[in-house]
Every structure is written in C-alpha cells, then in structure tokens.
A = this chain, B = another copy of it.
C-alpha cells in the first residue's frame, strides 16, 4: 500500500445556521480544503460523502450544486461514524492506487429538528436503550456502582471540552462552565443534564487526500500521513454496557497497524456524544485502565497541556455533532494540530493523533491514527 497524506482540510464552522443551506456549508468546507491543499477541482478523481439525514444521492446533489460533477461519487452511511467511514474509504482508494487525489466530505443540517429515520427498530427504543441519553445514563449508573465514577467527574469532562471549544473558532459553543453549571442545567436523562449531552448541530468538513509520493505537486512542508485506518462493526443490540468491544477492537487493530501504543498518542479526538461516552471510550482505548476513568479525569492529563489532551477541538460536546461531518472534522483538528496550526488550543509538539467515531451504539466504530 502507498502512504497517503492528508494534504488539505477545511470546515464550515459548526453551529446553528438557519440562513444557510447544506450546499452553502458544504461549499465553504470544500473550498477551504481545496485551497488548503492547493488542489483544483479538476485534480479530484473521486469523492466519498458521509451523511445521515440529507437524503438520496446527497453527494451527487451537493457537489453538483457547488458546480462539480462527473467524477465517481460514493455516499456512505454508518450512523455517527458516517464521516469517518467516508474518510476511510477515500484513504483506501488512494493507498491502493485507485486514485491519486481524492476528497472526503461530511455534512449535516440538523437544527431544523429531528428527522424521522425509517428502519430503526422499536424494541430498543421501547426499552429505553436506543434513546441515547438514557442509554448513557444507564452506562454511568453501572460505572458508578462498579468503579465509583462520580457524576461530578463526568461533569468535569464537559467543563474541559467546553473550555477547549472556547479556543476553537469552529466550535458551536464557546462557554466557560463550572461543574455546578453542568449539574444545574436541565435534566435530560437522570443523572445526565443538558451539558452532559452533545447538541444537534449544522456543519460540514472536508479533507483532501493524496498519495504521499505525489503530494509535493501540491504542498510543501511536513506532511500529515495516515498511519492506521480501522472499521469494526457490530450488532447494536448486543453492545455490552461494560465492554465497548468495538472501540477496544478498533483501537487495538489501529495501534497494531500503526506500530504504536496508546502511550505514543499526543492527542485524541474521540466520540464524546455524552460525557459518559468519553469516559467509556478512554478506558477501552487504553488511555487508562478500565475503572480508572475518574482518576484520569481528575488528574488533568486529558486537558490541553496535560499528558494526553482529549478533544482539544471541544469535541462533540462543545464543538457540536453534525452527524456526517463529525468524523471528518476530527481529521481536520488532528491535521491542524500536527501542522501546529491549532492556534490557542495547540498541543505543543504534537506528532501523533487519533480520531475515533462510534456509530449507533457500536454498530460501526471507525478509528484513524495520523502522524507527522
């Protein structure tokens, strides 16, 4: 396989944009990524597009509304991991020589309200498990009972990620919160309050990938390359509360592929759809032992400036979660960090970063390791 570089990234800021269409946001993200990569549209040989709620032939409609068409366009879906899977398929297309220069776009417009999703099965919803806030509240209760994780420790994740979001111009929320602010926000699924949950969000993100051997035709300077790409699928019905096997399996495979361990990571962008999700994933990623999540949160290790900053972008909790865009926005953040372009939220000397998306309660988990 050829080495593949992420030669350009771009985002439309995440937030609530009632006056913008999904095409407006996609255009802005794509234009920024193309400009960042110094690539013209005519150089793009294929596009993978991740989304969840935007309807039939979204990629074709979106790119043609932006004035682009003709190339193969493949829409992929994997719930909250849709963007990551688009990025992964794009990566393999370049790594295996199918194309030299390829684009991954993720976009979602959500703030016009919840959209009915055909095909979701009612049983888990009736049981409360597929109502995501409820399911994470249940996971917390179990972690509390078994490991002594406290709701205040979880609230601190929200405080940290919102602090990071204050440093990110692309973040939906820029809020300095206290643990009390988090705990005093309205209850969503007891004991999770609003600031324990990520918001519905509009946004778009784009990455341009290029065979490393061709990258010098477009960009100069140190390259961000992809050291690992893994996708693990599972039945969402059988996901265990205590062992998030897809995160563990996907990360273990990614560490093996990249030839590193979790101790070698300089930063992680992970799927903090709820504060409990971040705690859950940290143990399963090997950042700490399972059961030690509370101590890790208290230690300051996961803050910018700490041992292993997590979600320096603000994460889903603060930056927002426009479903299809999230996985590619994680790539944008890691690329900026590895290029030392992350401004006030820069993780000093970052050379290796990981992204992690977790779709439909474990039905799909996509993990990428990028390095400079």
Contact = CB atoms under 8 A, between A and B. Distances in A.
Contacts of A58: 77, 119
B359 A57 contact: yes
Interface string A117-131: 111110000000000
A76 interface: yes
B360 A233 contact: no
A359 to B, nearest CB: 6
Given A61-B121, A115-B118, A56 B69 contact: no
Interface stretch (A89-97, A314-322, A344-352): A89-97
B75 A118 contact: no
A173 to B, nearest CB: 26
A76 B75 contact: yes
A77 B78 CA distance: 11
A235 B60 contact: yes
A325 to B, nearest CB: 15
B89 A98 contact: no
B121 A57 contact: no
Contact of A364 (B52, B57, B77): B57
Contacts of A89: 74, 89
Size bracket, chain A contacts:
35 or more
Nearest to A82: B75
Contacts of A238: 64, 69
A73 interface: yes
Contact of A234 (B56, B60, B232, B236): B60
Contacts of A56: 52, 77, 79, 117, 119-120, 360
A111 interface: no
B364 A60 contact: yes
Contacts of A286: none
B96 A234 contact: no
A71 to B, nearest CB: 6
B360 A234 contact: no
A85 interface: yes
Interface of A: 52-61, 63-65, 69-79, 85, 89, 92-93, 96-98, 115, 117-121, 231-238, 359-360, 363-364
